[in-house]
Amino acid sequence: MGKEASEMPKHKGIKEKVFEILSKQKKPMHVAELTALVKKQLPMEGKTPEKTVNAICQRHPEIKRVGPGTFQKS
């Protein structure tokens, strides 16, 4: 059947938070700065939180890359 709660991806809250922060900032942000803000608001238990945030930004249809490791809401 379906996956149990412990097997479900935990990125949904992180995706929403990344988009919310970029929407509020209204300026390009580097992944390191963005990750620091996300970590203040949500627990990120993975070993590579910056890579997680970077992957979210690259895949989000409303976020565009404007420089190396730098993203903004499109």
Give the residue extent of every domain in the chain.
10-73
CB 15 within 8 A of CB 54: no
- Edge-to-edge strand list for the sheet holding 63-67: 29-30, 70-73, 63-67
Q: 10-73: which CATH topology?
A: Arc Repressor Mutant, subunit A (1.10.10)
How confident is the prediction for the chain on average, in pLDDT?
Answer: 88
What is the pLDDT, as a whole number, of residue 6? 47
What is the pLDDT, as a whole number, of residue 10? 54
CB 15 within 8 A of CB 69: no
pTM: 0.80
**5 pLDDT above the threshold of 80:** no
